Amino acid sequence: MASDMVALSRNGPVVTVTLQRPPANAMNIELTEQIAEIFDGVANDPGTGAVIFTGQGKSFCAGLDLKDVPFFGDSDQRRLLNALNRAFCSVYGCPVPVIGAVNGHAIAGGLLLALACDWRIGADWSFLTGLTEVLVGIPYPVAAIEIARQELSPRVARDLILFGQNITARSALECGVLDELVPTEELMDFAMAKALQVSKLPQIGFGKVKRQLRSGNLAMIGAAIAGNEPLLNGWLSKETIEAATSVLKGGK
């Protein structure tokens, strides 16, 4: 279902899911849980043949909200970890094609949401993508690291994950983070055309083949959701708080 942080619209068999949490669609607990709920709903809707996943404004998603998350107590940390694994899994394991319309900055968890999409179309302007968790001392939940391993080449994964590099949209295209770039004003039209095209694929067969392709990753993510998440106790540290505070103050 739609919410004040996620908008839904439909064009025939295509559902468009739009993140709308200004100013940068950063992920707090509530938004993360809503992403999982919405994609779970899409998975159970026989009238949906494809999904477009995008963001409002100049960001697709800026990742975790550093104003709040690093200061969570143990209970909220566990709740957010579970929400992240569920959200990433709900997109990555969605049985219908998911087209990422990456309208702008996709950082950390935001880039992981984009990587969870089956085809990633970027707007052709100088936005940034990157996996910057290492810069703020945040270890990767199981779903996040599994998606990154599967979707990125080993060298790109090393550069982005270990060193927290941000790269431009053009560089993201060149290294396979994005599949194509289109003029900004045409992004949603391109995404809709792609979504309508792939919505014609045999739906049951697509879902089964997608699960075959990602069976090992999805099994590990499923186990984490069931309770086998190594980070459930002690995910964030004092180092995380110090690093996040430095980033927010511009000390990165």
The pLDDT of residue 3 is 73
The pLDDT of residue 252 is 43
The pLDDT of residue 1 is 56
Q: Which member of 33, 37, 133, 242 is catalytic?
A: 133
Mean pLDDT value across the chain: 94
How large is the average pLDDT for residues 210-224? 97
β-pairing, 50-55 with 166-168?
Answer: unpaired
- Does the pLDDT of residue 50 top 60, yes or no? yes
Task: Encode pLDDT of 58-105 as tens digits.
Answer: 999 999 998 888 889 999 999 999 999 999 999 999 999 999 999 999
Whether the Cβ atoms of residue 112 and residue 35 lie closer than 8 Å to each other: no
- Does the pLDDT of residue 240 top 90, yes or no? no
Name the CA dihedral angle for 54, 134, 27, 80, rounded to a multiple of 10 degrees.
130
Confidence of residue 2 (pLDDT cuts 50, 70, 90): low
The pLDDT of residue 139 is 95
Using CA atoms, how far apart are residues 148 and 152, in angstroms rounded to an integer?
Answer: 6
All structural domains of the chain, each given as residue ranges with its CATH number in brackets, are 6-198 (3.90.226.10)
How large is the average pLDDT for residues 167-194? 98
How large is the average pLDDT for residues 12-40? 97
Residue 133 designated active-site: yes
- Does the pLDDT of residue 194 top 60, yes or no? yes
- Does the pLDDT of residue 225 top 70, yes or no? yes
